[in-house]
């Protein structure tokens, strides 16, 4: 009986028989446990009996096994970049990983399409004026003109070319949504038609239009939108209003993506006020006419001369 008991002892301590085969679940657990780093292991695993895994480890092991597809790793999507080491700041690479259905990306895309259709001048007169203004701006900038002096010089060049042009300064008061401010630009009064009785229309000219829409930490998509904006704008108020609205929406989406608030000076109503508020037109006074000598004055001068000569003879 004692010998028989020794033969069937499950511990294998009394006989020389081979130990019992491990279960499939235990082999799977040990294989998965070797793949887990020491830092990820629970501290209680080493203290427990190794004959059976704990429920926590078993749950993690089963999830890992199912994610691996039974030991065969499938092709996974490219990992997203982590900005843990960038202080929470998003990099330009993050913009390429956005889902096409993301709201901010959709808003920027819509703004880009809108601006693309509004960039070109609406009429032939505007295109010709844009070509003249661009040439004048390049010439005066090469000579060192900046800001308000550049506007004054371009307006003078336009008047010398026969245009009714002047520097305009718009001003607006503070409101609940934006502060007060002022902005300078040029307007040109053009005839709407070729006939002399054609109505006059006001065309706005801004020689540094694109820079008005720069924001802090722009996304790659917003930088592309800004590059679509014309560096020199020539057009009427209706086209300008649509351009400002589209660019302001794209700026809001860019700042939201960066986790920033839209500043008051980049809100649509503030941007529109730059060109659509009440303004003063700085029209230079015409030069005084040259002094002319009238026939009466000439005759009077001749009589005085004759009288003087006669008086000299009498004396």
The helix/strand/coil state of 110 is helix
Question: pLDDT of 276-299, one tens digit each?
Answer: 999 999 987 666 666 665 555 555
How many C-beta atoms surround the C-beta of residue 104 within 10 A? 20
C-alpha span between 275 and 193 (Å, rounded): 24
Question: pLDDT of 39-96, one tens digit each?
Answer: 555 554 444 444 444 555 556 665 665 555 544 444 444 444 444 333 444 445 455 4
Measuring CA to CA, how many Å separate 179 from each of 62, 175, 176, 190, 242?
A: 60, 6, 8, 33, 22
State the pTM of this model.
0.59
Domain positions in the chain: 23-69, 103-282
**183 beta partners:** 170
Question: pLDDT of 177-207, one tens digit each?
Answer: 888 999 999 999 987 766 666 688 999 999 9
Q: What are the structure tokens assigned to 173, written together?
A: 């008061």
């Amino acid at each position: 009986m004692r010998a028989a008991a020794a033969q069937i002892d499950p511990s294998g301590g009394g006989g020389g028989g081979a130990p019992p085969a491990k279960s499939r679940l235990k082999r799977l657990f040990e294989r998965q446990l070797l793949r887990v780093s020491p830092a990820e292991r629970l501290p209680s695993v080493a203290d427990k009996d190794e004959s059976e895994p704990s429920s926590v480890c078993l749950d993690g092991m089963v999830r890992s096994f199912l994610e691996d597809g039974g030991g065969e790793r499938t092709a996974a999507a490219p990992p997203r970049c982590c900005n843990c080491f960038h202080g929470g700041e998003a990099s330009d690479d993050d913009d390429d990983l956005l889902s096409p259905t993301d709201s901010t990306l959709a808003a920027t895309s819509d703004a880009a399409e809108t601006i693309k259709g509004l960039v070109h001048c609406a009429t032939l007169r505007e295109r010709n004026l844009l070509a003249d203004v661009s040439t004048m701006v390049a010439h005066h900038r090469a000579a060192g003109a900046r800001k308000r002096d550049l506007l004054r010089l371009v307006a003078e060049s336009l008047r010398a070319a026969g245009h009714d042009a002047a520097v305009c300064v718009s001003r607006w008061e503070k409101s609940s949504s934006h502060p007060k401010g002022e902005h300078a630009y040029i307007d040109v009064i053009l005839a709407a038609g070729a006939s002399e009785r054609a109505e006059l229309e006001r065309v706005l000219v801004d020689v540094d239009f694109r820079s008005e829409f720069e924001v802090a930490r722009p996304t790659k998509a917003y930088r592309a939108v800004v590059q679509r904006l014309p560096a020199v704008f020539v057009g009427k108020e209706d086209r300008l209003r649509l351009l400002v609205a589209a660019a302001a929406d794209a700026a809001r989406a860019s700042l939201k993506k960066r986790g920033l608030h839209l500043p008051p000076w980049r809100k649509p109503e503030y941007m529109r006020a730059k060109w659509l508020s009440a303004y003063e037109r700085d029209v230079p006074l015409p030069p005084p006419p040259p002094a002319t000598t009238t026939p009466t004055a000439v005759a009077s001068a001749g009589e005085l001369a004759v009288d003087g000569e006669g008086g000299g003879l009498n004396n």
